[in-house]
Structure 1
Amino acid sequence: MSTASDDLAGALARDGIEHLLVMFVNLHGKPCAKLAPVETLDELLRDGLGFAGHAADGLGQGPQDPDVVAVPDATSYLPVPLRPGLGIIQCDLFVEGEPWPYSPRGILRAQLGRLAERDRVARIGAEPEYFLVRRDADGTVRVADPQDTAASPCYDAYAATRSLDHLVTLSRTMNQWGWGNYSNDHEDANGQFEQNFGYAEALVTADRVVAFRYLARMAAERDGLIATFMPKPFTDLTGSGLHLHLSLATPDGARATFEPGDGPDRYGLGLSEEGYHFVGGVLAHAPGLHALTSPTVNSYKRIGAVTTRSGASWAPGYASYGGNNRTHLVRVPAPGRIEVRCVDAAANPYLAAAGIIAAGLDGLEQKRDPGAPVEGDPARLTADEAARAGLRPLPPTLLHAADALAADEALRAALGKVPGGEYADYYAQAKRAEFAEYHRQVSRWEWDRYL
């Protein structure tokens, strides 16, 4: 065995692991897995496990196609303290011995390869938000904590304490995993929480987001609750994001290349020319990028929402950027890094990160100037004022975003070719179908308005 597999075998023995969840995600970010006993480790690492790709959905296969083979990445192993004897390991996908181009993890790997050609690595920090809810026998969904009714609940110490067991379970586990959990708080909506962990290389962070969602849901189910990463489960409450902080560095870590150093800082926000060009790329490709970062029908109930109880949506409505200002698509919270705030809780972390990196790379290649940073809150501008300021509104629905992705040549190229076409078309078609299914439903709103 290789050093990585030797290390994995030792870790499994140390942690008393009896079974591994051999896991990957599909287009929609759904974790798919098989349970493998650790006695099969040698064969598992050598041969992987076969899956019917059509049954897993979102992997570009029909029922007639050969197996998708999930080959574990030994470095991604995590024990699951909530389930003694169980571990998780993330996988890369292959079909008949070749990397499968429909694999979201593989798509992110390809973009990281493009960065490597420029002598760069991406570091990403993620801020996952979610709601704790209950579902009543009649199907009604409500906030799990019946006392969590304050009009301004953000950072509420009492509400956080009432959910302490859940929050501490996740915090303790993240620290056992070596993630460096540093903050756990009640967010802006009733029943909403955010738990933060240290930044890492982009692929590692994407793996961690998948594992965090799994952990949060399992911990909630243990208590008879649901941890939902639905972007906006309640009309009158703020939605949930997955804000991504990103910086680039040289592979040895000696230089953070978004920091201006001794070079110019064109707009005074603490970014190098490389950093501003990267931001310019993200803004230029924001419409198509939204199909990847805000990937559900429900995502667009969050973007630009004006009916939240707190009076803020915390989600951008325009392709804008600025300094330490949370109303923009791109925020520059500190010198040398950016925060991309259009990513929501439902996003597939591999595809969202791949799309952001691809957009930023186009900005570097084209030397895109983002223009002067925008002051104030763009949401307070009228449509005419925003147009005069040169601000483009973001897609109003998933259908608009899917069409924008299909028309974006840089993102199309980055997502790559698949058998019979391009992944961008496959993805856009899946999202158009999702929108069409939603659009065919008759809602309570329609009964109330038209009956």
Structure 2
Amino acid sequence: MGKNYTKNDIRRIAKEENVEFIHLQFTDIMGVMKNVSITIEQLDKALNNEIMFDGSSIDGFVRIEESDMYLYPDPNTFEIFPWGSPNQKEARIICDVYKSDGKPFCGCPRNVLKNVLKEAEEMGFTMNVGPECEFFLFNTNEKGEPSLDTHDNAAYFDLAPVDLGGNARKDMITALKKMGFKIEASHHEVAPGQHEIDFEYDNALTTADNIMTFKMAVRIIAQRHGLHATFMPKPKFGISGSGMHINMSLATLDGQNAFYDPSNDMQLSETAYYYLGGIIKHAKGYTAITNPTINSYKRLVPGYEAPILIAWSANNRSPLVRVPSKKGNSTRLELRSPDPSANPYLALAATLKAGLDGIKNKIEPPTPVMSNVYIMDDEELLEKGIENLPLNLYDALKELEKDAVIKDGLGDHVYNRFRDAVLLEWSEYSKFISQWELDRYLRKF
């Protein structure tokens, strides 16, 4: 995307393009996008970081007595929405959240990622990320409420006429391109109603912004087609869930791929191996962040291509981390566990922190797994020292509590608020009686 806007550029473009409303966007700790909407007359005030909001009204931000927060817009994220009326255009700018004393707010996920990226930069690296974001398109009823009925019965890579969501997906791609996205691939996924749109890799901060923008655009365009787009990890029993694979690499500050080394079999550099070592070592610790909902763990089960075991491989898709075959400037690691309910800023901060710890402490990765880990029995897994990812959100939180490195990457404020939110969610879930339990036990006992 690589824009380099000044404040004057934004003023000029907004005037030329008849922009009437501007949405100042930021993200809460659980990854929900928030908006403070202003009219064009308030644009100068916004660009001078003078727009404030009540932080105590945002989940997990602050207490009432410290509630005044300021929005600092990032000019490079200025984007005009390609939908809406030509005479009254709407635009957005993504903002960092600051406190009233002019310091960055430690509970702002974008600031959390910036801090870990600064740590990487001090070690001589930048992080590049290419996400693969899956989602479902479901029909809506006459009230516009989502159902679990899909609009198609297409399968992986199917084309129209069976893939009725194809038109919606085409419009999504058109809208995203107008907003500066470079789309690499788009296809129907394994399950009915499931789609994937991949966009070009970029630096980690831009990619996290792009994931938030992508989710918003997909939902809005789906709605215009009478469909409901959901990034819920596993909306239906018995079919594949939606993942958000993260393809990541480090580059040196002069732009060279730091993971590539043509001198060995795998063509991976020592930096890449140590980074991988960190990703494997801290896998249990960051899972609560990359898979932050109760529902996330319904996807991480055997039989549906989602990883459940902490292992890596170059030649099969079953383990947690895969090393794709393309090398040179494309050398990267693909982390396959994250799902699209994750807060992208925190997910990238946590995984980068894990990888940097690997580099700092020269953590060697385990031996790669060449066979399909799905078909290994417990004895073989034990012998190879291959462990499971946490089985549920509560277990994942317990693992995060034990991982000082990942907690340090998040910072105390985000960690504590995240933990509180997860414990509340777990407590609600634990009390709920599901249809499965009624079907199973009502007549039996």
Q: Secondary structure at the match of 2:48?
A: helix
Is 1:92–1:105's contact at 8 Å kept on the other side of the alignment? Answer: yes
Cα 1:202–1:449 change in 2 (3 A) is same
Stretches of structure 1 that go unaligned for 5 or more consecutive residues are 307-312
Give the CA deviation at 1:428.
Answer: 2.1
Give the CA deviation at 1:327.
Answer: 1.2
Q: CA RMSD in A?
A: 1.8
TM-score (norm 1): 0.91
Cα 1:13–1:383 change in 2 (3 A) is farther
1:319 aligns with 2:307: no
Report the equivalent of 2:224.
222
Is 1:411–1:424's contact at 8 Å kept on the other side of the alignment? Answer: no
Match 1:431 to one of 411, 417, 422: 422
Is 2:261–2:269's contact at 8 Å kept on the other side of the alignment? Answer: yes
Is 2:112–2:346's contact at 8 Å kept on the other side of the alignment? Answer: yes
Give the CA deviation at 1:135.
Answer: 4.4
- Identical-residue share of aligned pairs (%): 33
Report the equivalent of 2:268.
271
Q: Secondary structure at the match of 1:99?
A: coil
1:143 aligns with 2:153: no
Structure 1 distance, partners of 2:200, 2:259, is 19
Cα 1:407–1:160 change in 2 (3 A) is farther
Alpha-carbon displacement from aligned partner over 1:62-102 (angstroms, at most 9, x marks no partner) = 23332222211110111111224011211101111221101
Cα 1:80–1:398 change in 2 (3 A) is same
Report the equivalent of 1:380.
375
Structure 1 distance, partners of 2:286, 2:153, is 35
Structure 2 distance, partners of 1:433, 1:337, is 37
Give the CA deviation at 1:134.
Answer: 2.5
Correspondences of 1:283-322 after superposition (within 5 Å) = 283-306=280-303, 313-322=304-313
Is 2:146–2:227's contact at 8 Å kept on the other side of the alignment? Answer: no
Structure 1 distance, partners of 2:425, 2:284, is 18
Match 2:332 to one of 299, 324, 337: 337
Structure 1 distance, partners of 2:166, 2:28, is 32
Structure 1 distance, partners of 2:118, 2:354, is 15
Report the equivalent of 2:237.
235
Structure 2 distance, partners of 1:159, 1:256, is 42
Report the equivalent of 2:196.
194
Give the CA deviation at 1:5.
Answer: 0.9
Structure 2 distance, partners of 1:163, 1:343, is 24
Report the equivalent of 2:392.
397
Is 2:82–2:179's contact at 8 Å kept on the other side of the alignment? Answer: no
Stretches of structure 2 that go unaligned for 5 or more consecutive residues are none
Alpha-carbon displacement from aligned partner over 1:312-338 (angstroms, at most 9, x marks no partner) = x22110111111422121111132211
Is 1:292–1:347's contact at 8 Å kept on the other side of the alignment? Answer: yes
Letter in 1 for 2:204: A
Give the CA deviation at 1:137.
Answer: 6.9
Is 2:81–2:179's contact at 8 Å kept on the other side of the alignment? Answer: no
TM-score (norm 2): 0.93
Structure 2 distance, partners of 1:58, 1:165, is 38
Give the CA deviation at 1:305.
Answer: 4.0
Alpha-carbon displacement from aligned partner over 1:345-388 (angstroms, at most 9, x marks no partner) = 11110000001100000000111111221112212122222111
